[in-house]
Amino acid sequence: MKKGTGEIAKAEGKLGILIPGLGAVSTTLIAGTFLSRKGLAEPKGSLTQMGKINIKKDNETKYVNIKDFVPLAKLDDIVYGGWDIFEDNVYEAAKHAAVLTNDDLNKVKDELEAIKPMKAVFFPQYVKKLHGTWIKSGATKWDLAEQLISDIENFKKLNKVERCVMIWCASTEIYQEPITGIHDTIENFEKALKESHPSIAPSMIYAYASIKCGHPFANGAPNLCIEIPALQELADKNRVPIGGKDFKSGQTLMKTILAPGLKARLIGVDGWYSTNILGNRDGEVLDDPENFKTKEKSKLSVLDQIFQPDLYPSLYKDYCHVVRINYYPPRGDNKEGWDNIDIAGWLDYKMQIKIDFLCRDSILAAPIALDLVLFFDLAQRAGMYGNQEWLSFFWKSPMHPAERLPEHDLFVQSMKLRNTLRWLMDYPLQTHFGDEHID
């Protein structure tokens, strides 16, 4: 993260939220925003809308709303737009996703029907389980990037938008790793776009278009995207905030809550078995082994960084960590995550923890997406650019500098986020010594 100089610009005018992928998460986010700003629902789960922060200055300690402490864009000033591989408007897409009730959707039907997707950039080899019908065509991937740039500019003009943030809410793409000569520099990346190189994924083209236009980009999926050096170089050049990856919403959220507690009490872990059943479009996509590998890498990365097996070999060195996701259509968006944790306590006596998390995937992810776009907009106005590591609180696989490991402890991540907000507003950072309390 790099910070500019001067004061934070005010959140004046409309904020455009551009979303590749108007599926379950996106439509739940959009409908929830409209319901909340009409006073018909509470935005529970949203740190920006319901969170408080403990501030201390001039020997005065008090709790204030985060949205009042830092100059965030207001829900009334948000304008939504996006792309999808199907032509359904957001109301129709939300009905198909079947996350929210018809009663809730009908309360904001007019607003949802007014949002129609732009044609998407889509290559079926990256998401083999889906067969899109609302797809852009172009001679090269460079042409497709140019079309996205035009879409962004047209959206801004049509909606009289002052600022934009793009957040990837589309499906998880197949697993791949960075390739030297393709992903390493912006010159090589643009050359690869013009040559339609097969290793340039749709998410990378969206990220390129957003950053090229000077707008922040957040990656809500685990696929390779803005962590490639070429796009980080472009983000630095254009002074654009970026970050990711993969919304930390369900089973991994539980791991980052529970694992720090086990480690803090020096309770050993012999094994952690996790499985999910999920029936929405995300589950269907992850039923393909190549797409699941991308998600698996994201989910498996968490525990090692929390447990630090090299520092605590007798507690965690040889623990077994298994992750499974099973596509089960009857469950829809109501994901169920089962965890079996084999633990070892005093004198190595064995115990077990069982977790059955009956959750709603998009209900947990939607407030994360809202918080991220509002914080990314704040970062842009504060002159912060490059990887927004302080927002690791929201990611399964936080992007991080090569010289250090990512932080996965949810409570450390929370302190980092809040201290960054205090720093931005020139308030003392919290160390929580003495009788101070953690936020």
| Residues spanned by the domain of 58 | 14-247+362-424
In a domain, 228, yes or no: yes
We report the CATH number of the domain holding residue 323 as 3.30.360.10
Ranges of beta strands (E only) in 253-331 are 268-278, 320-327
Strands 78-84 and 118-119: parallel
Please say if the pLDDT value at position 340 is more than 70. Answer: yes
With 0-12 CB in 10 A as exposed, 13-18 as middle and 19+ as buried, what is 218?
Answer: buried
DSSP annotation of 88: -
Final residue belonging to a domain, choices 358, 382, 409: 358
As a residue count, the chain comes to 439
Weakest mean pLDDT among 104-108, 320-324, 329-333, 420-424: 329-333
User: Are residues 275 and 412 both part of a single domain?
Assistant: no
Comparison of pLDDT for 85 and 291, the residue scoring more: 85
- With respect to residue 82, please indicate whether it lies within any of the assigned structural domains: yes
Q: What H or E segment, with its residue span, contains residue 80?
A: strand 78-84
Beta bridge partners, 321, equal 272
Give the per-residue pLDDT at 83: 98
132 and 203 co-located in one domain: yes
Q: Measure CA of the first residue to CA of the last residue in the chain; give whole Å.
A: 24
8 Å CB contact between 315 and 238: no
- Same domain (yes/no): 371, 303: no
Which neighbouring-strand residues pair with 319?
none
Same domain, 111 and 233: yes
Residue 436 pLDDT greater than 60, yes or no:
no
In this prediction, residue 12 carries a pLDDT of 95
Task: Provide the 8-state DSSP code for 374.
Answer: H
Residue 282's pLDDT band, with cuts at 50, 70 and 90, is confident
- Same domain, yes or no: 260 and 351: yes
Residues 237 and 257 in one domain: no
* Domain boundary residue, one of 336, 358, 380: 358
Residues 113 and 170 in one domain: yes
Looking at the fold, whether 266 and 318 belong to one and the same domain comes out as yes
The band of 72, judged by pLDDT with boundaries at 50, 70 and 90, is: very high
In the chain, what percentage of residues exceed pLDDT 70?
96
pLDDT above 60 (res 5):
no
Q: 275 is written with which tokens? A: 């499985």
CATH of the domain at 59: 3.40.50.720
- Total domains present in the chain: 2
52-57 and 60-65 strand pairing: antiparallel
- Model pTM? 0.93
Structure confidence at residue 437 as a pLDDT band (50, 70, 90): very low
Point out the least confidently predicted range of 117-126, 135-144, 307-316, 427-436: 427-436
CA distance linking residue 432 with residue 439, whole number of Å:
9
